Structure 1
Amino acid sequence: MGTTLCFSLILLITVTDSFFEANSITFWQDTEALREFKNGLDPNSVRPGSCLSSWDFTLDPCDNLFSDKFTCGFRCDLVISTMSRVTELALDQAGYVGSLASTSWNLLPYLHTLDLSNNFFAGSIPDSLSNLTRLQRLSLSRNSLSGSVPNSIGSLSTLEELYLDNNYFQGTIPLSINGLKNLKRLELQGNRLRGQFPDLSQLTNLSFLDASDNSISGELPANLPTSLVELSMRNNQLKGNIPANISNLFYLQVIDLSHNNITGSIPSGLFTHPSLQQLTLSYNDFESVQEPGDSSQESELIAVDLSSNMIRGFIPPFMGRMRKLSALSLENNRFSDVIPTQLTLKAVLPGQGVSQLERLLLGGNYLFGAIPVQLLKMRDPGSVTVRLGDNCLYRCPLRFFFCQGGKQKSLMECKRLGHVLP
């Protein structure tokens, strides 16, 4: 029995191998797309020894990949493209049974990855790039490419990763990107993109989005892909409020919207989010923080940076009850009143099951009163960073590391905003 089965398996493999007539010619549209991409670049930017300088289209790209003619830049995969007839195969206990027709298959190499990052290539992206119909990863990062991001890029329906960061792309982000249904990662940071950010909520697989360091204006889209894990749009010109439904992005772990012009109140839902770990909203124009209530104890937040805004009033007490919070920066706002005891206890004597507050940055506000007694017991920094300089505190002697030389605001400056000091 064992011998029969072994023979059947060998026969099946041998017969199966005979199905395929391997075709080594790269899919013609892929070859043309590579050719036009190279021809569209400034030839002076294609340095000797670079990937593009080795592309010689007198030869087949995929069939000569990593030779001296096509040294690098892309990866090919074999794909079954045609089958002339259907063949039926069967196995029974006695071995191979059935008929085998004269069947012809074509195995065409298609481009799977195009990676030309970390060069100094100049020029624009040709529309022909959309002919790379089976491309899954496109990386043109850190070049000197310019012009607009073509609408035709939305035709790359199999694309999973798109890296266009750190170039000189201009214009608006095309809405056609919604055609990239399989896209998981989109990096557009470090360009000159402008205009309102499009609604990309149709990208239901997108987990990483970075459009930082551009000139994107308007409001943050009310609808973002619900699959997002990380959202970064720092250093743009965003304005308006944060949409309240951003807390409905249940998988979100990182938000960085720093260095924009966002106003209004910070939604309470961000502090009770089921998965959010890092919240960076510094250098905006926020004026207040919405209180989430007792549910803040279940917050997953580890780091919160609300520095350099215009937030007034008391430091919200709930921040001292966030069990996993270990870094809090509220510097350079307009917080007043005394320093909450809950925050200082979290930095000095956290309770059981509570993370220690390793960074407590409160400088540049209008906090007044005496330094909490818990902090006075800290004679050296140790593993905790505390900054209280440039406030309205009563005596902050030089010997305490967190006083930063004892400099506090003048009495006139402390009264300037109408704060009542004891």
Structure 2
Amino acid sequence: MATTLSSLTLLSIIFTLLLRQAHSVTHWEDIRVLEDFKNAVTPNSVSPGSCLSSWDFTLDPCDNLYSDKFTCGFRCDLVVSNASRVTELALDQAGYSGTLSSNLNLPYLQTLDLSNNFFTGPIPNSLSNLTRLQKLSLSGNSFTSSVPDSIGSLISLEDLSLDYNDLRGTVPFALNGLKNLKRLQLGSNQLTGEFPELTQLSQLVFLDASNNAISGNIPSRFPPSVMEIIMRNNQIQGKIPENILSNLSYLQVLDLSHNQLTESIPPSLFTHPTLQQLTLSYNNLQAIQSPATSNYQNTLIEIDLSNNNIHGFLPGFMGRMPSLSALSLENNKFTGMIPTQYAVKAVFPETGTVPFQRLLLGGNYLLGGIPGPLTGLKPGSVNVNLGDNCLYRCPAMFFFCQGGSQKSFTECKNFGPVIP
């Protein structure tokens, strides 16, 4: 009996020791970094009862992960538990609030993600102390004031996300100092003024400055490496530069919709060798310049020029673009007949040519008959809309006539001398 008890006692001791060895304990340097982060938030801006207010470093975070001393904000499997400095601090959607103060000093940090929290106030200049930072995400907060010039000194930064805040002022030219930047997200703020030429960002791939109040003209030059330019829903005005795409050998997406662009669309936008999506809807554009060449070996998949003030006949060359599958020219001032090549591309495309999946021509002043190939289309096959035109021979039996609803005879006749 004594032997049995002794064996059980020994096994219990061994099991307890194993548990203690397997138990996660936060490295002291990691605790110091977390303390530094808490201290970097202005104390009187931290709401009582918030996640950050519960941090109590008289106890070990990983030993008390689910206690009332550390209510949220830790993942101990991600904490660096060795002699090196912490290189990543990711607190996405952790429920933090407060104001970042000017004593932020984490010199070994490579990733700082404070996105989708409740931080307020200005972005501190002390971020420039994070000289090894490669990713900085402050999106989805309530940061105010301007984008500090000091961010431009983070020469190792590859990803900068400041979108969905309340940032104001102009986009600083100092961002040209981010020589290694690949992604720049400034969307959904209150940024104003003219957008600077950021041509020194030779590694930039993705640029999003949408949903701001940026004004002035379109920059005549963008970084040559950029693949996506998204600047929709601003107050950009003036003419689209003729050579806007001349040095953009990799561009795939150009979205300048919901602005105040005027005059004509240059032909270079339709012949670019890599552009796949062109969106210029909701502007005040008035004309389309057709390319001089008959070789349409481009890569455009989608063109949206809807809700402008474009006059003239429908551009026939768009019906010969081999990869174009979605074309929206709705709500403009186009007149004349529907080009036969549009109908052929929707129903009987040539070999090696992608058919139209979406052809939206409603809300214009188109007239004449319906091209024969379109009459054989069945509902659900191709999204075609010819409603609200001057096509009096567009009966309700054809789904693309939108119930036969067309403009009145008087409106069509008053539009111009080409309407009979």
TM-score, structure 2 length as denominator? 0.80
- What's the offset of the Cα at 1:337? 0.4
Asked whether the equivalents of residues 29 and 83 of structure 2 are also in contact (C-alpha less than 8 Å), the reply is no
Task: Tell me, in whole angstroms, the C-alpha distance in 1 between the residues paired with 2:43 and 2:203.
Answer: 32
Match of 1:290 in 2: 289
Match of 1:138 in 2: 136
Match of 2:42 in 1: 39
Amino acid at match of 2:347: V
For residues 166 and 219 of structure 1, do their structure 2 counterparts lie closer, same or farther at Cα, with a shift above 3 Å needed? same
- What's the offset of the Cα at 1:372? 1.1
Match of 2:11 in 1: none
Task: Tell me, in whole angstroms, the C-alpha distance in 2 between the residues paired with 1:331 and 1:346.
Answer: 18
Match of 2:23 in 1: none
- What's the offset of the Cα at 1:294? 3.5
Amino acid at match of 1:284: N
Match of 2:369 in 1: 370
- What's the offset of the Cα at 1:125? 1.0
Specify which of 229, 238, 243 is matched with residue 227 of structure 2. 229
Asked whether the equivalents of residues 328 and 360 of structure 2 are also in contact (C-alpha less than 8 Å), the reply is yes
Pairs within 5 Å for 1:326-405: 326-378=325-377, 380-405=378-403
Task: Tell me, in whole angstroms, the C-alpha distance in 2 between the residues paired with 1:136 and 1:185.
Answer: 11
Asked whether the equivalents of residues 33 and 129 of structure 1 are also in contact (C-alpha less than 8 Å), the reply is no
Match of 1:299 in 2: 298
2:50 is aligned with 1:48:
yes
For residues 265 and 197 of structure 1, do their structure 2 counterparts lie closer, same or farther at Cα, with a shift above 3 Å needed? same
For residues 175 and 169 of structure 1, do their structure 2 counterparts lie closer, same or farther at Cα, with a shift above 3 Å needed? same
For residues 58 and 136 of structure 1, do their structure 2 counterparts lie closer, same or farther at Cα, with a shift above 3 Å needed? farther
Task: Tell me, in whole angstroms, the C-alpha distance in 2 between the residues paired with 1:346 and 1:134.
Answer: 53
Match of 1:189 in 2: 187
The more displaced of 210-219 and 240-249 is 240-249
Amino acid at match of 1:182: N
Asked whether the equivalents of residues 36 and 126 of structure 1 are also in contact (C-alpha less than 8 Å), the reply is no
For residues 209 and 77 of structure 1, do their structure 2 counterparts lie closer, same or farther at Cα, with a shift above 3 Å needed? farther
- What's the offset of the Cα at 1:382? 2.7
* Identity within the alignment, %: 57
The more displaced of 119-128 and 170-179 is 119-128
What is the SS of the residue equivalent to 2:236? strand
- What's the offset of the Cα at 1:121? 2.1
Asked whether the equivalents of residues 286 and 311 of structure 1 are also in contact (C-alpha less than 8 Å), the reply is yes
Pairs within 5 Å for 1:234-313: 234-248=232-246, 249-313=248-312
Bigger strand fraction: 1
Task: Tell me, in whole angstroms, the C-alpha distance in 2 between the residues paired with 1:262 and 1:392.
Answer: 27
Pairs within 5 Å for 1:141-156: 141-156=139-154
Task: Tell me, in whole angstroms, the C-alpha distance in 2 between the residues paired with 1:419 and 1:410.
Answer: 16
Task: Tell me, in whole angstroms, the C-alpha distance in 2 between the residues paired with 1:141 and 1:265.
Answer: 36
Alignment RMSD (CA, Å): 3.0
Amino acid at match of 2:205: S
- What's the offset of the Cα at 1:71? 1.6
- What's the offset of the Cα at 1:381? 2.0
The more displaced of 147-156 and 208-217 is 147-156
Specify which of 107, 110, 116 is matched with residue 108 of structure 2. 110
- What's the offset of the Cα at 1:31? 7.8
- What's the offset of the Cα at 1:129? 1.3
What is the SS of the residue equivalent to 1:402? helix
Match of 1:91 in 2: none
The more displaced of 120-129 and 326-335 is 120-129
Task: Tell me, in whole angstroms, the C-alpha distance in 2 between the residues paired with 1:232 and 1:76.
Answer: 37
For residues 33 and 41 of structure 1, do their structure 2 counterparts lie closer, same or farther at Cα, with a shift above 3 Å needed? farther
Give CA-to-partner distance per residue, 1:7-34, whole Å, 9 cap, x none: xxxxxxxxxxxxxxxx9757x9x88984
Q: How many equivalent residue pairs?
A: 368
For residues 232 and 78 of structure 1, do their structure 2 counterparts lie closer, same or farther at Cα, with a shift above 3 Å needed? farther
Match of 1:93 in 2: none
- What's the offset of the Cα at 1:55? 5.8
TM-score, structure 1 length as denominator? 0.80
For residues 24 and 346 of structure 1, do their structure 2 counterparts lie closer, same or farther at Cα, with a shift above 3 Å needed? same
Match of 2:8 in 1: none
Gap regions ≥5 residues in structure 1? 1-22, 82-107
Give CA-to-partner distance per residue, 1:288-322, whole Å, 9 cap, x none: 11111335520100000000011110111110110
Amino acid at match of 1:342: Q
Specify which of 98, 103, 121 is matched with residue 119 of structure 2. 121
Task: Tell me, in whole angstroms, the C-alpha distance in 1 between the residues paired with 2:81 and 2:226.
Answer: 29
Amino acid at match of 2:235: Q
Specify which of 388, 407, 412 is matched with residue 414 of structure 1. 412
Task: Tell me, in whole angstroms, the C-alpha distance in 2 between the residues paired with 1:416 and 1:321.
Answer: 32
Match of 2:74 in 1: 71
- What's the offset of the Cα at 1:36? 6.2
For residues 128 and 35 of structure 1, do their structure 2 counterparts lie closer, same or farther at Cα, with a shift above 3 Å needed? farther
Task: Tell me, in whole angstroms, the C-alpha distance in 2 between the residues paired with 1:273 and 1:399.
Answer: 40
What is the SS of the residue equivalent to 1:319? helix
For residues 71 and 41 of structure 1, do their structure 2 counterparts lie closer, same or farther at Cα, with a shift above 3 Å needed? farther
Task: Tell me, in whole angstroms, the C-alpha distance in 2 between the residues paired with 1:59 and 1:134.
Answer: 30
Give CA-to-partner distance per residue, 1:268-294, whole Å, 9 cap, x none: 111111100000000001111111133
Task: Tell me, in whole angstroms, the C-alpha distance in 2 between the residues paired with 1:207 and 1:40.
Answer: 38
Match of 2:20 in 1: none
What is the SS of the residue equivalent to 1:216? strand
Amino acid at match of 1:340: P
2:202 is aligned with 1:200:
no
Amino acid at match of 2:282: Y
Task: Tell me, in whole angstroms, the C-alpha distance in 1 between the residues paired with 2:201 and 2:60.
Answer: 35
For residues 393 and 168 of structure 1, do their structure 2 counterparts lie closer, same or farther at Cα, with a shift above 3 Å needed? same
What is the SS of the residue equivalent to 1:237? coil
